[in-house]
Amino acid sequence: MDVFIVTGASKGIGLELATQLRSKGNKVIGIARTVPADVEDFVCADLAQTGSLTELIVSLIDENRKMATSFTLMNNAGMVDPIGLIGSISAEDMTTAMAVNLTAPMILSNAFIAKLKDFTGTKRIVNISSGAGRNAYEGWGTYCTTKAGLDHFSRVVALEQTNIAYPVDIVSIAPGIIDTGMQETIRASQEEVFPLLKRFIDYKEQGLLSTAEQTAKKLIAFMEHEDFKVVGPIADIRNF
């Protein structure tokens, strides 16, 4: 059985990924701070509390290893806050975002790779990145930096895994602009702290946002049909 571990699985893309993957007969374990109603195989965890993440991923792999033919870790959880020009945001908010967007995926990936070192089945890590990691946007200093870090981390892991007997395939993929709670947070910000506010309001008003359902479907198709080694560690779903 194919086993998927999906972070941020209580809403948005994460919830759609978990729902659609389950509908295909896969074993899906969701991780998030809140547990959706009527959902099985869900772990309540705050990814900002990074000290417990290694133990968490190890236990999930141990519980499912005997029946698994493949493991996929999907580092989907993320937050766009704090929105604001550097010099105006709090160190505490910056630290939380760094933990959720970058430190947690790194720790989970590290434990995933270590625990499955001798697992001979398919092993994949899918990091949900953003165009913000590849372009600079005023007011998103923390968000852009964490996503750029996630991209570069993926490049390093891909390079390292070329010399491993049973390698983990990894990709950091930008999912496009999606109509989720994150977009609502962006539109609720102020132009003085986020100069691109009008552009994001226009995306909504002009119907240019993809739905979480559409995006999850594309991501699943990507995982089913694309060879990560051929694609490389950095991708954009809009190119597939």
Which residues are part of the catalytic machinery? 143
Residue 51 backbone zone (phi > 0: left; psi -120 to 50: alpha; other: beta): alpha
Tokens of 41: 């195989």
Omega within 30 of 0 (cis) for the link into 175: no
Give how far the C-alpha of residue 110 lies from the chain's centroid of Cα atoms, to the nearest Å.
15
Distance, CA of 50 to CA of 40 (rounded, Å): 24
Q: Is 236 helix (H, G, I), strand (E, B) or coil?
A: strand
Coil, strand or helix at 122: strand
The DSSP secondary structure of 66-83, one letter per residue, reads GG-SEEEEEE-----PPP
Phi, psi for residue 5 in degrees, rounded to 5: -110, 115
Q: Which residues pair with 2 in a beta bridge?
A: 70
Residues in the chain: 240
Q: Is 229 exposed, middle or buried (0-12, 13-18, 19+ CB in 10 A)?
A: middle
116: which 2 tokens? 């499955």
